[in-house]
Amino acid sequence: MVENWDDFLVPYKQAVDELKVKLRGIRAQFLKIDGRSPIEFVTGRVKPVDSIKEKMVRRHISEDRLEEDMEDIAGLRIMCQFVEDIYQVVDLLRKRTDINILEERDYVHNKKPSGYRSYHIIFEYPVQMLDGEKVILAEIQVRTLAMNFWATVEHSLNYKYQGEFPDDLKGRLERSAEAAFHLDEEMSEIRDELQETNKHEPGKDVRKSSDEDSHLQ
């Protein structure tokens, strides 16, 4: 049973802080070597206690099974410019020795009925505490900026309608999700065409990156 929520959440907060530093470090290395990174920016959060309790009720999770059955108490989000970047980031995560991936859910090319797209990775992460190592469950979501915009708006509307969208609004959300994905596809095609043009025009470099810290949150 959870006697003190602040104490219970300490390793989750530490995991989020550590992983944000590591993932942003990867981004910095890519920028230094290649001038461009598949990671645009990284955010992370620990689920608020009220949200944990609400999900426990909704998913029928008992307090004594909380650490084993709730995968997203610690959550990170990696934003990418292009769909192809998502899979590059996933490959990078698979090769890491500090996380143990338990499950992958590809909602990018297997979208949810709502239109939601993202790539989810559930993993174990060891946190060094004063009394020894503690392995926690955590989640990373990898998505494009367009996918994130849609998901953020849809999530805020979910609170207003408590998940029960009117049919008309549900249809419009699904269509807007498809429009966002088509935008991703179009931007990838534009990028590919520019790179192809660059091959035939020596001296030009179309790789541009924003300032390293400008998008980090």
- Which phi and psi angles does 118 have, rounded to 5°? 180, 165
Q: Is residue 139 among the annotated active site residues?
A: yes
Give the integer Cα–Cα distance in Å for 11 and 69: 16
Q: Which residue of the set 18, 139, 178, 193 is catalytic? A: 139
> How far, CA to CA in Å, does 213 sit from each of 27, 40, 152, 182, 197?
10, 10, 22, 28, 29
Report yes or no: 181 and 150 within 8 Å, Cβ to Cβ.
no
Report yes or no: 140 and 77 within 8 Å, Cβ to Cβ.
yes
DSSP 73: S
Question: In 2-131, which ranges are E strands?
Answer: 41-46, 74-80, 100-106, 119-129
Give the integer Cα–Cα distance in Å for 23 and 205: 26
User: Which residues are identified as catalytic?
Assistant: 139
